[in-house]
Amino acid sequence: MSTGPLTSDRDRVLAATDILSLIGEVVALRPKGREHVGLCPFHDDRSPSMAVVTHKSGNGGTGFYKCFACGAAGNAIDFVINYHRMEFPEALRFLAARANIELTPWQGASARQRSDGEPTRDDVLRANALADRFFRRVFADQDAGAKARAETERRGFGPETVEEFGIGAAPARIDALVEGVRKALRNAGTDYPPFEAFVAAGVIRPSRSGGYIDLLRDRLVFPICDDLGRPIAFGGRKLDPEQEPKYLNSPESPVFHKSKALYGIHRAKRPIVEAKCAIITEGYTDVIACHRAGFRNTVATLGTALTREHARMLRRMADTVVLLFDGDEAGQKAADRALEVFFSESIDIKICVLPDGLDPDDLLRQDGGAERFQRALDRSSDALAFVASRIRKQLEGRGLSGRQQWVEQTVAKFVDLGLNAMSGVRRQLVLHTLADLFDLPVVEIDRFAKSMRARPLAGGAVQQAETAAAATGVQAHSVVEVTHATQSGGLSTGLSTGLPFGSTARARARKVAERRLLGLLCNDPALASLAVPVEGAGTLPISEAIAPNEFADPGHAAIFAAIRDAAEAARVLNFEGLIGEIADPAFKRLASDLYLFGTDILRSASGVGASGQRSATEEVLVSWSDLENLERRERFRSPQLDRRGSGGVGGMDGTDGATDAGDGAHIERTSRGIDATTAAARLARLRERGHDATAASALFHRRQVSSPDGGSSMDRKE
Ligand SMILES: [Zn+2]
């Protein structure tokens, strides 16, 4: 049977492959029950939909992956075929090499069709691998490699760095590689990739005189590898000061696409998955310097800014991408582009500007350079805030009108970069961030953004946005109204210093607390009638203690609204019933995710508590108090940030906010909180049902009252 060897090779390879570590190299996986889950790389996944199952192996079975959203599924070989886009034999060879297995020699593999003259992808890869070997041999050569070795020594690269990054050298001759390939073809014949494969790879190129010449001559060579460590292209740095250009890369080829490739990814992928963060620089030597200094989650783009393809690959491995720039100007230029990517791919993007205009290499060579580097990383600001603060800086000193222009221009800019094209949930998240940034209600920013149409922006974007904003009188007018409505207390002074850039960590903590509570409620929606302590209001059922619009995440808000509606109508729901009441498919998926999350919490809690029911109740109480505590902390923080210089703003109802000071209820509602009308409606509803009047009125107060200097006493309490 002709497929015999391959079939048994297949089984041996599968048995020897740890599917968890194979997939874990490119997708961040976390344990969930007996499985592992992560973002599915085969569709545009937003919540981890892919499970890697290993506990069903044994009995000759092997692990498999399965995506519950798009249906992608298979074993380790299927994963390699689909993820790395390999043919079956190539995938088999790859996994065999990985597991240190010898495959049965099989004639079919090398005798494959090449009749059309076009080199296959595999041929091009092999050509690159052979060129790589050639450059390394030259580097090691006594004479031919002397200049290259001197250059690496000058840069402080030891032999281990040269080895790790496969640094090589191209000799000063015009056709050394061409000659080498021709000679090898004469000797090795059909076992060698065809000459055309080297041309397709770009390492050999046609010359003007009709012959062929080497791409790289007299250069230090940095192989650019795919995430499996296979060379797919080369970057050459000039060794002769007279030579131009300074850096020269392989052209695009069947295996090399600049918009997807990241220099150093094969060394960095595991550290990136571990740190959940990728650092992106601009050059080979910066990557090498970062790795040498211990920042191993660093890669570089290859002559392009960060693209969506990059982001799509990285977001499966990390939550955050930090773009490194060696000066304000470079950072500013790239920030718009980064924001565009951020608006289209769900990954957080931060901008880090290194001090004194130093590039990573220079900075890390200094005494204490690694510490300074780390500090700069810690100070990175998210791309959204970076762009907003840059616009703000240009308007400095213009007072109230400057603030208006700031809001207008920033929103206009974000719309141009794709804000309105974002998916619903993510767009809401951005709007909430902007609401925090500007201290304006989310709905107003939403309305304003929607009223604008994206304009194509070419360089000098701010200048253009400025002119454009000035030209659109109607939009400007709507913002004027917005600002007046919310500005009674001189917020512009408050915002002129220290913007709440650190809000992402808070937002994340808040989201986690919300997820916990909702996860439990999804498992048993009836728990929404559980009474929980409410600050200054005794106890209330969860369904009344918090309003849907108080959830920071719009998806959470929608799900909680469905739970609350059922509780208020005294309808008993199970999870399937709940899903049926949620309209938006994205929110349905989110609810399933939350349900699984809640199941996990309950499963790990069931070992601790007495009966299942009791521990679910306890878990809900704990989750509730987490959320309350977070909210309290947030309230403490916001007066500090928002109220600087505002004096006593007072409640909307005209009180001075001191009413509740005695029992520690210093409350500042953010723009997300429910408004007076909603609170009044709620109060009426509670009264109708004969609810405890004190608790009810405290609830009402809680939404209304503010205290200008509540911060310090809260501080003591925590
Ligand atoms: Zn999928």
CATH number, residue 357:
3.40.1360.10
Among 459, 485, 501, where does a domain finish? Answer: 501
Residues 472 and 596 in one domain: no
Residue carrying the six token digits 């309350």:
628
Ligand 1 center–CA 593 separation, angstroms: 14
- How many Å lie between the centroid of ligand 1 and the Cα of residue 48? 9
Q: How many CA atoms lie within 13 A of 146 on its CB side?
A: 3
Same domain for 245 and 271 = no
**What is the whole-number distance in angstroms between the Cα of residue 519 and the centre of ligand 1?**
22
* Domain presence at residue 701: yes
| 713 and 589 in a common domain | yes
Q: Residue 657: name the closest of 644, 646, 666 by CA.
A: 666
Question: Has residue 172 been placed in a domain?
Answer: yes
Structure tokens at 677: 């009308």
Gap from CA of 392 to ligand 1 centroid (Å): 41
pLDDT digit string (tens) for 476-520?
322 322 332 233 222 222 222 222 323 556 677 778 888 889 999
Expressed in angstroms and rounded, the spacing between residue 344 Cα and the centre of ligand 1 is 18
Q: How far is the CA of 453 from the centre of ligand 1 (A)?
A: 33
Question: From the CA of 516, how far away is ligand 1's center (Å)?
Answer: 24
Residue 71 counted as domain residue:
yes
One domain, residues 172 and 212? yes
pTM of the entire structure?
Answer: 0.59
Looking at the domain assignment, is residue 182 inside a domain?
yes
From residue 426, give the alpha-carbon distance in Å to each of 207, 429, 541, 642.
Answer: 51, 5, 30, 25
- Same domain for 533 and 670, yes or no, is yes
Judgement on whether residues 271 and 242 belong to the same structural domain of the protein: no
Residues 166 and 303 in one domain: no
Q: Is residue 650 part of a domain?
A: yes
Are residue 130 and residue 168 in the same domain, yes or no?
Answer: yes
Select from 358, 379, 400 the last residue of a domain: 379
Query: Among 475, 501, 527, which residue terminates a domain?
Result: 501
Q: Decide if 210 contacts 244 (C-beta within 8 A).
A: no
What's 245's domain CATH number? 3.90.980.10
pLDDT, position 413: 87
CA of 43 to the centre of ligand 1 (A): 5
Quote the ligand 1 centre to 88 CA distance (angstroms): 21
Ligand 1 center to 38 CA (angstroms): 10
Distance 521 CA to ligand 1 centre (A): 26
Q: Is residue 370 located within the same domain as residue 417?
A: no
Which alpha helices (H) appear in 417-553, and where do they start and end?
A: 424-438, 442-450, 461-471, 473-486, 491-495, 503-523, 542-545
CA of 65 to the centre of ligand 1 (A): 10
Owner of token pair 């902390």? 633
Query: In sequence order, what DSSP letters do the residues of 146-164 get, joined into one string?
Result: HHHHHHHHHTT--HHHHHH
- Is 256 part of a structural domain of the chain? no
Q: How far is the CA of 177 from the centre of ligand 1 (A)?
A: 44
| Sign of CA pseudo-dihedral 176, 179, 180, 181 | positive
321 and 422 share a domain?
no
* CATH value at residue 17: 3.90.580.10
Among 114-118, 343-347, 372-376, 620-624, top mean pLDDT goes to 372-376
Q: How far is the CA of 40 from the centre of ligand 1 (A)?
A: 5
Comparing CA positions, the residue from 431, 477, 425, 475 lying closest to residue 453 is 475
Q: How confident is the model at residue 699 (pLDDT cuts 50, 70, 90)?
A: very low
622: Cβ–Cβ under 8 A, 6 or more apart, which residues? none
Beta bridge partners of 35: 32
pLDDT at 4 over 80: no
- 312 C-alpha to center of ligand 1: Å? 14
Q: Which of 59-63, 207-211, 389-393, 707-711 has the lowest mean pLDDT?
A: 707-711
Q: How far is the CA of 45 from the centre of ligand 1 (A)?
A: 6
Q: Evaluate whether residue 52 is within a structural domain.
A: yes
Residue 36's pLDDT band (boundaries 50, 70, 90)?
Answer: very high
| Residue 115 covered by a domain | no
CB-count burial class (<10 Å; 0-12, 13-18, 19+) for 558: buried
Q: Are residues 508 and 640 in the same domain?
A: yes
**How close is the Cα of 79 to the center of ligand 1, in Å?**
12
> Residue 586 Cα, ligand 1 centroid: separation in angstroms?
14
Residue 27 alpha carbon to ligand 1 centre in Å:
12
H-helix or E-strand containing 351?
strand 348-353
In tens, the pLDDT along 644-689 reads 333 333 333 333 333 333 333 333 333 334 445 555 555 555 555 4
Ligand 1 centre from 506 Cα, in Å? 30
Which domain range does residue 474 map to? Answer: 385-501
CA of 90 to the centre of ligand 1 (A): 24
Please indicate, yes or no, whether residues 87 and 150 belong to a single structural domain of this protein. Answer: no
Domain count, the chain: 5
